[in-house]
Amino acid sequence: MKKIGFGLLASCFITLSLTACGSGSPEGERSSAEARENKASTETNGPGSSVKNTTPKDESASGGKKTIVFSMFFPDELVQEAKKKYEQLHPDIEIKLQTAYTDDAHIEADEEKFVKNTNTAMLAGKGPDLLQSAEYVNILPTDKYVKHHLLVDLGEWMEKDSAFRKEDYFGNILDNARTGEGLYSMPLAFFLEGFVGDADAIAKTGVQVDDVNWSWNDFIVTANQLTASKVYPSVLTFGGPEALLAEIAMDNYGLFVDTESRKANFESASFTGLMNQVKSIYDDHIVATDPRSKAYFRSIHINSPWDYLVTLQEYGEDMKFYMKPHAQETTAGGYFRPYKGISINANSKVKEEAWDFIKFMMSGEIETSPTKAGFPINKNMFAKLVQQLKEEGTVKTYEEGPLHGKAIKVDQAKLDQLEGLVNGANHQVEYKSDQVHEMIMNESKAFFAGQKSADDVAGLIQNKVTTYLNEQ
């Protein structure tokens, strides 16, 4: 898989047991390929254009049109299509797209320049009217922008806009994609994070798996029961214990980091208890670090209705998507990762027009397909994609996957279950703080090696994360 920037490269370390970044199946690599495919087809303002000269304007110099400057790192064909359709409907509006990506060979330099120029402009009270930090990962310090009141709270705009029908969208995603009390980035789509499990093997054990409600404590109890049955030697395949600890912590980020007050909470019974839980399941060989090991569950992400069908089939006939366990101190529910988040600059002179364009992109006016990455935030669009798959009857698997492009029958029952999974996702996976993720991984290695106590390691992580938060 080609490298696509510092942020995603770091996030690949989260699931070291997986064959491609983001998933136990090849979809992480496929997602990257699709992102590159999108880049090639979108209008830009010239190769390598940056956002350093994107001062908001009330009107352009031509014909009195209002101009919305929209900045993103990668080009996006859906945004390009939305721009064209919106401008046709609103001839008094011009949407000026700006991108920074040139090619994979220069991606790190492009990313560094994009972040630097955007930060300079935003902190100077300038910058674009709309900004998309990235497609798959967040490369801009949006938490820093929130801290300095540089982004509009889109939750307030939803509430005061009588034309916005929240019931048309997945409210569980919108309500839980917030930073503190505010929604500063509107996710146009999202991914599901969870386990793929061998439902047939689990049924043979007679063990009941309540993945809708299970905590990590419940997972350990269930895992011991599954292990005792000896159908499979391990319950879960993953990387080292430091990787699993970091992933669980990022899944439950709000327990350990208060993003609004910029305070860390790693010197807590919640975190040290989690460290001991992770150690115990590795000591008891519940988790296997070899991805080739036979196990009941593997960690994956699902990036579309089509990917949901294909990925489960690629793992086997009887595979099922299971929700990940939640931390003991949090509520039950599944996990999601926001995708294609759009923010409005608080210093924009065209906030109303920018908000209207965001609504347009959310509305389902722009046609997509079941194979495009991302579950749409619009419920009607989601239902349409699912119905389209049902009507097609068969889907073609990934060419580079284990089934090598084979056509498979659409599993209607699995699609019927998908709506419940999507509606049950209420925990946002933290995808913005790669530095915190790395701190947890690096410092916890000493605990799992028996060199330091849980309290000592928690204190070190607390100090490092606190320093990091204060620098933002």
Q: Does residue 328 sit within a domain? A: no
d(CA 268, CA 270): 5
Does residue 286 sit in helix, strand or coil?
coil
Q: Does the structure show a pLDDT above 80 at 24? A: no
Q: Does the structure show a pLDDT above 80 at 33? A: no
Q: Which residue has the tokens 């859906």?
A: 78
Q: Does the structure show a pLDDT above 70 at 7? A: no
Q: Does residue 220 sit within a domain? A: no
Least confident of 111-125, 136-150, 243-257: 136-150
Q: Does the structure show a pLDDT above 50 at 21? A: no
Least confident of 161-165, 213-217, 367-371: 367-371
d(CA 338, CA 431): 8
Mean pLDDT of the chain: 85
User: 100 is written with which tokens?
Assistant: 């920074």
Q: Does the structure show a pLDDT above 80 at 288? A: yes
Q: Does residue 253 sit within a domain? A: no
**What average pLDDT score do residues 293-302 get?**
93
d(CA 459, CA 190): 34
Q: Does residue 48 sit within a domain? A: yes
d(CA 196, CA 313): 10
Least confident of 29-38, 65-74, 259-268, 373-382: 29-38
**What pLDDT sits at residue 160?**
95
**What average pLDDT score do residues 314-343 get?**
90
Top pLDDT among 2 and 192 is at 192
Query: Could you give phi then psi for residue 231, rounded to 5 degrees?
Result: -70, -45
d(CA 427, CA 60): 42
The region that residue 343 occupies, defined by phi over 0 for left and psi between -120 and 50 for alpha, beta otherwise, is beta
Q: Does residue 285 sit within a domain? A: no
**What pLDDT sits at residue 136?**
57
**What pLDDT sits at residue 144?**
85
Integer-rounded Cα Rg, in Å, for the chain is 22
Reported as a pLDDT band with limits 50, 70 and 90, residue 5 is: very low
Reported as a pLDDT band with limits 50, 70 and 90, residue 20 is: very low
Top pLDDT among 166 and 260 is at 166
**What pLDDT sits at residue 13?**
31
**What pLDDT sits at residue 172?**
96
**What pLDDT sits at residue 239?**
92
**For residue 236, what is the enclosing H or E element?**
strand 234-237
**For residue 151, what is the enclosing H or E element?**
none
pLDDT digits (tens, 9 = 90+) for 160-177: 999 999 999 999 999 999
Q: Does residue 354 sit within a domain? A: yes
* CATH code for the domain of 79: 3.40.190.10
Q: Does the structure show a pLDDT above 50 at 25? A: no
**Model pTM?**
0.82
d(CA 70, CA 128): 6
Q: Does residue 62 sit within a domain? A: yes
Q: Does residue 108 sit within a domain? A: yes
Reported as a pLDDT band with limits 50, 70 and 90, residue 18 is: very low
Q: 173 lies in which domain range?
A: 42-189+341-362
pLDDT digits (tens, 9 = 90+) for 40-62: 333 333 333 333 333 334 444 44
Please tell me the total count of domains within the chain: 1
